[in-house]
A and B are shown apart, each in its own frame.
Chain A
């Protein structure tokens, strides 16, 4: 059984208020290492057999991400 990992991030030019909120919370808690934070989504999809990368990429483009504001990456974990 393989696991497909799809990670979706807002494009760099799109405002990410959630990431900014995390970035401002970190130093309040004494973590002073962060220059900036971007927050995204990660999908873990279990599949039987060999997945079709075409179908996965299509699903990532059509449903899992909105290409107007987000980029995605796909990889397979064996």
Chain B
């Protein structure tokens, strides 16, 4: 008698469990939908509002002035001009900051991996963490004080590059150190056992072996600085013309977005510039996730 009772209680129990499980599943799925919905709204808003302005001229012409935009809107035309000054400026600034940050970051990362137990690398690790927490606008101010006031004597692309390079550094250092940890120690030992000097081991074995990890870190740091506006406002300032001179004020896509936003006649351009920036960053992220999943260092089992 008792056993039969127990069994029916057990069945009841299982029934309740299944119901609870279902409820919880519904809860989790609806929560995940809640996070997806805003993303869908953001993307669709940017695409719907931005796509109308995107044409060939958008990429090759410089930004229009307020009057041109006003006339175009009055005549129900697309606003003339584009963001060529911003695109070239972004490329210029990012290129210069990459040249400064990538080699430095990789070297510091390798140093920290190779001397893990030294106090100095612990110190470096802490400094890197602090640097990662510094707000970008503060880096902008620092670069203003160092570069704008004393080196280029005026707003310049170079000052913007310095601010962004400092932002890139901690990410590159981190990813380099993590990548070096992934390389099996046997590979290093094999290189040393062949009598190779230290720098050759780093240049010909460690960096090629960690290539996918290193480039993933670099691409991610690039996609992070591409959208930075605040430090550029204090350093690169912006320009209405295409500029390739690093010591002159230069525009950048996020700076243009800010300028368009402030001009009631050009608000439409905000969406198309944002669309451009978003797709650009998305492509970089896709490339980096491709690299990290495809070319992982094979660990022998």
Partners in one complex: no
Residues of A within 8 A of B (CB): none
Residues of B within 8 A of A (CB): none
